[in-house]
Amino acid sequence: MWKFDSKGIYTVKSGYKYQYNQLPRAPTLTKDLWKLELPPKVLNFLWRALFNILPVCMNLIHRHVAMSRLCPVCNDELETILHCLITCPFARDYWVTSNVGWWGAVDNFPAWLSMIQTWCDRQQVQKAIMIAWEIWNARNGIVWKQKHVVPYTVLQKAQHFLQEWQLARVSMVSYDPNTVPAVIKWQPPDAGLKCNIDACFDAVTGLMGVGLVIRDSNGQFVEGMCKSLGYVQNSLNAETMRVREALSWVKGRLFNTPLVMEMDCLMVKQALDRILHDNSYFATLIHDCKFLVRDVASLSFSFVKKSANQVAHMLARATGFTSGLAEWSVNPPTFIHDVLLFDLNNN
């Protein structure tokens, strides 16, 4: 199957060259992919996925291998590369719990990668590819070895490989996962409105964006916005500034119903619940937040896992492409339709 190099030895490079020459329908985004800091075997996998030669069921059928066209994992849909790595419920569960998010509203795998490259920063692109690769390994484990995949192993493995690229977490408030309610899916509020907020902080440029979505007790979209907030020092300040921004935006709306503001940064949530006695910039920001809502009785804060905060996350990411402020009322922007539906279908 592989073409070998001049010495007759298979190398990753000759493998790529082979694939590149054999399949001229090269996606336009391949140039930047070479610059990604990923293990060669992962890049190799990526190339095979991009050129549609990964041996998923639909590709084996084309090679006249007698087998079912259905995905061997969910047994529900044709197994294309996009299905296998992204849209299969098995894969989707991993994407929504990762901080990359689920970007399944595309026609094929190259389109997914193009989407990721457009909307995510370089670190997240790398992480996304690692997750796709681990999903592929887990799928093969299930198909060929009947291996039972323990939930979260896929993410943990991808995480492990990318640890050196991870941003150092600021640990101001001790984090005890046992005290945190394990809400994985987004839940509509019992009454009134729920406002999900998220910040997107680009560690390279220091630029930050904030995303906000308000939904009612039926899960119906009410309002949404994203705003670019310029330069911030670190991600913790970014997280706090988004709360301040969201609060002042919500306050200007004068909603007459109870509103719960949901965020995925536990540190900020906990800081809002207590009195901080230091003079740090962080404490000042928290103070600003409390001051803003001092006369708003029906507002409360809650913490959710990232997986339940996907809509706000996508809106925050969108700030890279909107100048300043973008707002939507009643009708949500098309790029969040899928996640809104996903949140609704999971209740």
Tell whether residue 71 is a contact of Zn ion (CB under 5 A): yes
Instruction: Please select the residue that binds Zn ion; options are 74, 115, 203, 222, rule is CB under 5 A.
Output: 74
Task: Work out how close the CB of 91 gets to Zn ion at its nearest, in angstroms, rounded to a whole number.
Answer: 7
241 binds Zn ion (CB under 5 A): no
Q: Which two tokens stand for residue 124?
A: 């997240």
Which stretch in 35-43, 66-74, 186-194, 319-327 sits in contact with Zn ion by CB under 5 A? 66-74
Residue corresponding to tokens 């009708």: 331
In the bound state with Zn ion, the residue whose beta carbon lies nearer, of 74 and 143, is 74
Q: Which is nearer to Zn ion, 73 or 339 (CB)?
A: 73
Pick from 38, 46, 54, 73: which binds Zn ion (CB under 5 A)?
A: 73
262: alpha, beta or left? (left if phi > 0; alpha if psi -120 to 50): beta
Contact between 82 and 109 (Cβ < 8 Å): yes
What is the nearest approach in angstroms of Zn ion to the Cβ of residue 279?
Answer: 54
**Binds Zn ion (CB under 5 A): choice among 88, 193, 267, 314:** 88
143 lies in the binding site for Zn ion (CB under 5 A)? no
CA distance 173 to 329: 36
Nearby residues of 152 by Cβ (< 8 Å), 6 or more positions away: 97
What is the nearest approach in angstroms of Zn ion to the Cβ of residue 70?
A: 8
CB of residue 135 vs Zn ion: minimum separation in angstroms? 11
Q: How many residues does the chain have?
A: 347
Q: Tokens for 282? A: 């962080």
Whole-angstrom Cα distance, residue 307 to residue 311? 9
Task: For residue 199, report the phi and psi dihedrals to the nearest 5 degrees.
Answer: -120, 150
Listed ranges 74-82, 166-174, 189-197, 252-260: which one lies at the site for Zn ion (CB under 5 A) = 74-82
Q: At its nearest, how many Å lie between Zn ion and the CB of residue 131?
A: 16
How many other CB atoms are there within 10 angstroms of residue 308's CB atom? 21
Q: Does 225 bind Zn ion (CB under 5 A)?
A: no
CB half-sphere exposure, 142, CA atoms < 13 A: 19
Count of residues that interact with Zn ion, criterion CB under 5 A: 4
Instruction: Give contact residues for Zn ion (rule: CB under 5 A).
Output: 71, 73-74, 88
